[in-house]
Amino acid sequence: MPKLFILGLLYINIGRPQDVLTFLKPLSLGYIFGGLTLAYLLLKKKELDQGLEVQAEENKAIFRVLLWILISAPFSMHLGHTVGTMTVILKNLVLYGGLYYCFKTEEDFELVSRTLLFSILTLSLGGLFIGESSERSSVGTFYDPNDLALVLTSCIPFIMYHLRDRNIVLKIIALITALATLMQIVLTQSRMGFLLLVLASLLTILQNRSSLLGLLKGVFITGVFAVFFMGMVTPAYLERIQTIFMKGSTGSGRTYIWKRAVEMANANPVFGVGFGAFPSAYGRLLADGRFSKVDDHKYNVAWKVSHNSYLKVLAETGYIGLFLYLLLLKKVVMNMRSVKAWFREQGDWNAIQKVNAVEGALYLLLVGSFFLDQEFNSFFFTLVSLGILFQRVRAVSPATAQAPAVETTMLQPGALFNEPAKST
C-alpha cells in the first residue's frame, strides 16, 4: 500500500492528470498522496532506517545544496519567492524520500518505470486533446510548451526500454506513447525539444553499440521513428526550427539574459540574489537601469526567467551554490556510471538496459537544463533515487558477496541525510 501512495504521487507530479482531467483539480491529489507518503515515512521511520544496504552519497550532496540554500535565504532580494520555491522543493523531497526508502529492487524499478510510461502517455494524449495554446501545445499551467517538450524528450529512454518489453500489452502501450510523444513534441514547436530529440536518437544508438545486433536494432528503431516524425512535421514547426541560430530569435535572445545572469552573480558572488528570486531580482535591476541596453528592445523592458538552470543556480545562490550543485550532479552521474560498469562486468545485460534508461533520461534532462529552469524538479529526484536503487541491487548481489572483503559503512538509524556509523 505505501508503494501505491508513492507511485500515485509520482504519477501526479509528472503525468499531471489533474491538469488533463480538470475535474480532478479540486481534489488536491498532490496533497493527498503527498500527505499519505509523508505520514508513512514519519510513522515507519525507525523500520525504514534499518537494512539500508548502501550509503547513498547523493543524499549528502543534496543536503549540502539545501543547507546552502537555507544559509543564503536571509540575503534574498525577494524572501517571499525564496520561501515559496523552497516549499516546492520540500514537496519533491517527499517524493524522493518515498522512492529512496521503499523502492530497492529491480522489480521496484519496473513499477517506477511503468508509472513514468503512463505519465508520459497521459501528458502526450492530454496535450493532443486539451492543449492550452492554439499555436503551441501545453498542459495546464504547470507545463508550458518548452517544459512539456523537456519532460517528454527526457522520458524517451523509458519509452524505448518498454518497447523491448516481453509483455505485449506494455509493448503496445509504449508504441502508442512513442507516437503520441513525437506528435506532441511537434505541437509544442519547442526548438529545445527538437535538439533533445536528436540527442535522444543518438543515445538510443550509442547505448546499444555493445554488439553488432544491438547497434543495428538501435539504428533501425531510430530510423523508423524518424520516418514517423518527418510525417508529423508541420510547416510552422519547420519554420520555427530554422530560427534556432537566427539572430534576433528567442534562441539568440536568451544570450542577453544569460549574460545578465552572470552580471547578477558577479554583483552578489557569495549568497546570490536568493533562491527562487531570479525573476524578481532581474526585474528590479532592469527597472533600476543596472543592465546595459541590448539590440532587442523587448529585453530592455520585460522581466525574464533565466532559461538556464545552471546560471539560475549561480545567480540565485552564488558561486558556492553553483559549485555544490555541480558536485551533486557529478556524484549522481559518476555513481550511475560505476553501477553500469559493474553490471557490464557481470554480463547482466538486462540490468544494463534498465540503467541505460535512467542514465539516458538524466543526460537529456541535464542538457535540457541549459535552456530551461529545471534544476530541482520531481523528475530529477526520481532519476537520482533510481540510481541509488541500482547501487542497492549491486550491494545485495551474490557476485558482490563473493568479492574480497572491503571496509564497509552502514547507515545509522536516523534522518535521510545520515553519516556513516562510527565503529565502537
Gap between the Cα atoms of 363 and 289, Å rounded: 38
Per-residue model confidence (pLDDT) at position 134 = 58
263-294 residue pLDDT tens: 999 999 999 999 999 989 988 888 888 888 77
Between residues 373 and 113, the one the model is more confident about: 113
- Residue 297 CB burial class (10 angstroms; 0-12, 13-18, ≥19): exposed
Gap between the Cα atoms of 153 and 11, Å rounded: 17
238-263 residue pLDDT tens: 888 877 766 555 555 678 888 889 99
Cell output for 58: 547523493
Look-up of cell digits 513514468: 116
Residue 288 DSSP class: T
Least confident interval from 48-52, 128-132, 312-316: 128-132
For residue 224, name the pLDDT band (cuts at 50, 70, 90): confident
CB burial string 127-148: b at 16+ within 10 A, e below? beeebbeeebbbbbeebbbbbb
Cell output for 94: 517527499
Whether residue 165 contacts residue 117, with contact meaning beta carbons closer than 8 Å, is answered with no
Per-residue model confidence (pLDDT) at position 262 = 93
Mean pLDDT of 230-238: 82
Whether residue 33 contacts residue 44, with contact meaning beta carbons closer than 8 Å, is answered with no
Neighbours of 243 (CB within 10 A): 14
Q: To the nearest whole percent, how much of the chain has pLDDT over 70?
A: 88
Per-residue model confidence (pLDDT) at position 307 = 87
Per-residue model confidence (pLDDT) at position 251 = 55
Gap between the Cα atoms of 350 and 357, Å rounded: 11
Gap between the Cα atoms of 285 and 412, Å rounded: 47
Per-residue model confidence (pLDDT) at position 246 = 64
Look-up of cell digits 501528458: 123
Cell output for 262: 552572470
Q: Is the pLDDT of residue 410 over 80?
A: no
Least confident interval from 91-105, 141-155, 288-302: 288-302
Q: Is the pLDDT of residue 235 over 80?
A: yes
Least confident interval from 90-99, 228-237, 265-274: 228-237
Least confident interval from 13-17, 95-99, 285-289: 285-289
Mean pLDDT in the chain? 84
Mean pLDDT of 180-203: 89
pTM: 0.87
Mean pLDDT of 43-53: 75
Least confident interval from 96-110, 180-194, 245-259, 342-356: 245-259
Between residues 271 and 50, the one the model is more confident about: 271
Per-residue model confidence (pLDDT) at position 401 = 55
Look up residue 8 and give its amino acid: G
Per-residue model confidence (pLDDT) at position 249 = 53
Between residues 370 and 423, the one the model is more confident about: 370
Gap between the Cα atoms of 95 and 376, Å rounded: 12
Gap between the Cα atoms of 159 and 73, Å rounded: 39
CA distances from 117 to 145, 154, 248 (A): 20, 12, 37
For residue 415, name the pLDDT band (cuts at 50, 70, 90): very low
Whether residue 146 contacts residue 190, with contact meaning beta carbons closer than 8 Å, is answered with yes
111-170 residue pLDDT tens: 999 999 999 999 888 767 665 455 777 777 778 888 899 999 999 999 999 988 889 999
- DSSP secondary structure, 53-86, as one string: -S--HHHHHHHHHHHHHHHHGGG-S-HHHHHHHH
For residue 413, name the pLDDT band (cuts at 50, 70, 90): very low
Per-residue model confidence (pLDDT) at position 421 = 42
Per-residue model confidence (pLDDT) at position 172 = 94
For residue 406, name the pLDDT band (cuts at 50, 70, 90): very low
Which of these, 361, 417, 353, 370, lies nearest to 110 by C-alpha position?
Answer: 353
Per-residue model confidence (pLDDT) at position 20 = 83
Between residues 221 and 211, the one the model is more confident about: 221
- Cα dihedral sign, 377-383-387-388: positive
Neighbours of 396 (CB within 10 A): 12
Per-residue model confidence (pLDDT) at position 174 = 94
Query: What share of residues in the chain are helix, strand, coil (percent, to 5)?
Result: 70, 0, 25
Report the greatest alpha carbon distance in the chain: 70
Beta bridge partners of 143: 139
